[in-house]
A and B are shown apart, each in its own frame.
Chain A
Amino acid sequence: MAQQPPPGSGSNVSRRDFLKLLAAAGTVMTFAPFVDWGKFLPNPSGQLKERQKVELPDGSQASVKAFPVNHSEAVIYPKTDDPVLNNEAFRVWQFIRLPVELGGDKNDISSFRMYSQVCLHLWCLWKYWPEEGRKRGECPCHGSLYDPLTGEAFAGPASLQAPPSNVLPMLDLEIDSQGSIWIKPPNWSVNGNGIVGFGRFLT
């Protein structure tokens, strides 16, 4: 085994060691293509390349003109043809038009927010409460409170979590010439739109 090279011979690789190296390299090369097969595991749905409508529960597309100030609706995104899949919490987003004091009366995209409704603490579904004195997202399970302006948890267990788990995932919105609201293609990463149920870094 331990073949000592003769002194002074420098980096002299024995034939046996060289063969071992080749065998190891061959093994690595054999299995290298399979590494990419790890992509089998995650579900590829949800990777959307085009913008989508903000489709309200009544079936209409949300519009700057029609959507009331200080109001919220649950929106399914990404919406599928399968009602079963549409039913799941991970596709439920809270579409909020901010109250007046937060700039919700402006007729542009700055008065709208769309956050994942999955609470960052333990995945209950929070929702926006427009009542006077609340005007915030509240989670019914453990009482995490969310700032509708940024999606950041400011009280409750979610607020105690280290970033990125204290800021809700948020979708980027845009308005067309008719005033209809669209969802831009998302980037599901903590530095992008965030990861549902995990969070997002505030940039």
Chain B
Amino acid sequence: LGVSLHRENSLVRFLRWVYAGVDRTIFMGLKFTFPGRFVSPLGFLGMITFVLFIILGITGALLMLFYEPILDRAWNSVQTINDVIPYGFHLRNIHYHASNAMVMVALLHMYYQYFSGRYKIRNEILWVTGIILGVLTILEAFTGYDIIFSERAELAISIAASLTNSIPILGPQIREAFFGSGFHDFVLRFYAFHVFFLPIVLLGLMVVHFPRFLVFDVPIVMAITGAVMLTGGVFPVDLGLRFDPNVPPGITVPEWYLTGLYAFLRSAYDKFTTGVAWPGLFIFSLLIIPFIDRYKKFSWKDRPIITAIGITGLAQIIVTTYWGFYIDPDRTKSLLERLVIDPVFLYLVMILLVPLSFGFTYMMIKLAKNAEANAKLQPKKSGSGKSSINLPQRWIFGVLIALIAFQVYLNIAAYYAVINGMKNYSLFIVGIMMLVFAGMFHIFRHGRSMEKAPPPKPAVPTTPLKSKPSSAVATSPSKPALTPPGELSKSTPAISSQDDKPLAPPPVAKGGSSSSQSSSTTQQSVETKTDSKVKMADIPESKSIRE
């Protein structure tokens, strides 16, 4: 149809030349993969976390130009950023929502690695540094919202410092040494921690934490960025009331990643136990989990005790996180009654969650194994799990042009929104734009992969069909009985989504996340290894991607 998407233009050639030159540097130890098709973001949540970290670094650096870490000016300077400085509102909202997203994605990243058993096979250092990174990420986010110095920030600082004070013997000295002696010091020092100490440690640890195999999926990264902006547009972060030492603050709760801890603190039990020892125990148990996990297998289904422990922790986190937010709305009761959580009740629930979670895990594993067995017994309907939308090539052009036109429209809309002072709306539109870009890139990628020769399919030994896959998929999305039963079945997400290796393209990957058990998968991946390094890999080998 005359459709060809040339990419060997001079810019690409220049980039290739740079890329070849970088061969001499440390970065070539890393192996970047730009997936040639959609892959599940679960497999590269770490990279998304890093991208959010970069976004935070950029927006944070820009915010530093106007923020003043002085007791009486901190809140006012944030207000100035929010209300007066052009695009200050945008930067602040992106910074705030990206910080929340970073904590959330880091947590997801951790739990995905946890349940898929990735911390094994000599990944213990990655796991341990990852846990430390996670703790520092939360501290970074925490110090960030403290230095606004609103009422809520004051409450947070006071909690942090009083928890440090509660450390036996050296607590007051540690607090004095690191936090200083008053709120003036706290704001200034938290600022120093927030913009220098913690980020520099984070960066240093990241060097250790980065695995050698990295995935950078442009559409997903763009979509995440867009989602952050969109959230900022829809839920702009408020400023809070300025902290005034002579006015008692209203009831405030910390950010969501700390309300779990807050629930424990509200039980009015000993401060050191609830505020330092429990989270410390939680972090410690996460640190040692790779060393106590003695299962030979990886999948969560094959590691019942570890999975149950993870589910228990997760359930407790979810329950306490909600509990920390919950304040009895009955205003006739005293403040104490409304706020204090009965420790007996709280700890009873925590203990009750243990057998419940173990039972739940047992049930889930049973169900999953049943489903697996059933799927093996029944001859599968081919294509049922692999329903993909495949556009004819001329449609790809059409869709791309439509998306670009939509972006032009969005640009105009964003421009007018900015002119009319509709900051929310403009941020929202920019978010949409990023999402549209993600879609555009995906379409572009899809079109290019279709243009290219059909990828080799070593997983399918017999191809008794007359048509090439590219044209075949173009005509009908589901071809019944295209492959022998059982070949493709293992990779279909319909059977078990957990088992599906995130980056494994359907034709190649067989073993799913337990790929190292099946030697055939690794052999196949070796065949496709050579060309996937430099090119935008159409077939990222299933073994290589861990991040």
> Which residues of A are interface residues toward B (Cβ below 8 A)?
38, 41-43, 45-46, 74, 83-85, 87-92, 118, 120-125, 140-143, 155-157, 160-162, 165, 190, 195-198
Contacts A42-B176, A88-B182, A165-B271: A142 and B339 contacting too (C-beta < 8 A)? yes
A75 to B525 CA separation, bound complex (whole angstroms): 74
- Is there an interface contact between A123 and B172, defined as CB atoms closer than 8 Å? no
Q: Shortest distance in angstroms between A90's beta carbon and chain B's nearest beta carbon?
A: 4
**What residues of chain A lie closer than 8 Å to B245, measured between beta carbons?**
87-89, 92, 125
B interface SS class: helix
Q: Shortest distance in angstroms between B342's beta carbon and chain A's nearest beta carbon?
A: 12
**What residues of chain A lie closer than 8 Å to B172, measured between beta carbons?**
190, 195, 198
Contacts A143-B335, A165-B166: A198 and B249 contacting too (C-beta < 8 A)? no
A-B complex: 3 closest residue pairs judged by Cβ atoms: A123-B158, A140-B248, A143-B336
- Is there an interface contact between B271 and A42, defined as CB atoms closer than 8 Å? no
> Which residues of B are interface residues toward A (Cβ below 8 A)?
70-72, 154-155, 157-159, 161-162, 165-166, 171-173, 175-178, 180-185, 245-246, 248-249, 251, 265, 268-271, 334-336, 339-340
**What residues of chain B lie closer than 8 Å to A196, measured between beta carbons?**
182
- Which residue on B lies nearest to A198, using beta carbons? B165
- Which residue on B lies nearest to A42, using beta carbons? B176
A46 to B268 CA separation, bound complex (whole angstroms): 31
- Is there an interface contact between A141 and B335, defined as CB atoms closer than 8 Å? yes
- Is there an interface contact between B162 and A90, defined as CB atoms closer than 8 Å? no
Question: B181, B269, B340: which contacts A142 (Cβ < 8 A)?
Answer: B340
**What residues of chain A lie closer than 8 Å to B161, measured between beta carbons?**
123, 197
Question: B72, B177, B248, B268: which contacts A42 (Cβ < 8 A)?
Answer: B177
- Is there an interface contact between A90 and B183, defined as CB atoms closer than 8 Å? yes
A140 to B338 CA separation, bound complex (whole angstroms): 13
- Which residue on A lies nearest to B151, using beta carbons? A124
A84 to B74 CA separation, bound complex (whole angstroms): 12
Q: Please name 26 pairs of A and B residues whose Cβ atoms are closer than 8 Å in the assembled complex, sorted by A.
A: A42-B180, A43-B185, A83-B72, A84-B72, A85-B182, A88-B71, A89-B154, A89-B183, A90-B182, A91-B182, A92-B246, A118-B158, A120-B162, A122-B158, A123-B155, A124-B155, A125-B248, A141-B248, A141-B335, A142-B340, A143-B334, A143-B335, A165-B165, A165-B166, A190-B172, A197-B165
- Is there an interface contact between B165 and A84, defined as CB atoms closer than 8 Å? no
- Is there an interface contact between A124 and B72, defined as CB atoms closer than 8 Å? no
A38 to B274 CA separation, bound complex (whole angstroms): 29
| Residue of A88, A156, A196 with most chain B CB atoms under a 10 A cut-off | A88
A140 to B161 CA separation, bound complex (whole angstroms): 19
- Is there an interface contact between B181 and A43, defined as CB atoms closer than 8 Å? yes
**What residues of chain A lie closer than 8 Å to B72, measured between beta carbons?**
83-84, 87
**What residues of chain A lie closer than 8 Å to B334, measured between beta carbons?**
143
**What residues of chain B lie closer than 8 Å to A123, measured between beta carbons?**
154-155, 157-159, 161-162
- Is there an interface contact between B155 and A122, defined as CB atoms closer than 8 Å? yes
Q: Shortest distance in angstroms between A186's beta carbon and chain B's nearest beta carbon?
A: 12
A89 to B340 CA separation, bound complex (whole angstroms): 24
**What residues of chain B lie closer than 8 Å to A88, measured between beta carbons?**
71, 182-184, 245
- Is there an interface contact between A87 and B71, defined as CB atoms closer than 8 Å? yes
- Is there an interface contact between B340 and A124, defined as CB atoms closer than 8 Å? no
A41 to B180 CA separation, bound complex (whole angstroms): 7
**What residues of chain A lie closer than 8 Å to B162, measured between beta carbons?**
120-123, 197-198
Q: Shortest distance in angstroms between B40's beta carbon and chain A's nearest beta carbon?
A: 42
A68 to B159 CA separation, bound complex (whole angstroms): 35
**What residues of chain B lie closer than 8 Å to A140, measured between beta carbons?**
248-249, 335
**What residues of chain B lie closer than 8 Å to A124, measured between beta carbons?**
155, 158, 248-249
- Which residue on A lies nearest to B178, using beta carbons? A41
A88 to B71 CA separation, bound complex (whole angstroms): 8
- Is there an interface contact between B181 and A84, defined as CB atoms closer than 8 Å? no
A147 to B185 CA separation, bound complex (whole angstroms): 30
**What residues of chain A lie closer than 8 Å to B175, measured between beta carbons?**
198
A195 to B167 CA separation, bound complex (whole angstroms): 14
- Is there an interface contact between A74 and B246, defined as CB atoms closer than 8 Å? yes
A44 to B265 CA separation, bound complex (whole angstroms): 31
Q: Shortest distance in angstroms between A139's beta carbon and chain B's nearest beta carbon?
A: 8
Q: Shortest distance in angstroms between A47's beta carbon and chain B's nearest beta carbon?
A: 10
- Which residue on A lies nearest to B175, using beta carbons? A198
- Is there an interface contact between A197 and B158, defined as CB atoms closer than 8 Å? yes
**What residues of chain A lie closer than 8 Å to B178, measured between beta carbons?**
41
**What residues of chain A lie closer than 8 Å to B246, measured between beta carbons?**
74, 92, 125
- Which residue on B lies nearest to A40, using beta carbons? B177
A41 to B189 CA separation, bound complex (whole angstroms): 10
A91 to B339 CA separation, bound complex (whole angstroms): 27
A125 to B339 CA separation, bound complex (whole angstroms): 17
- Which residue on B lies nearest to A83, using beta carbons? B72
**What residues of chain A lie closer than 8 Å to B159, measured between beta carbons?**
122-123
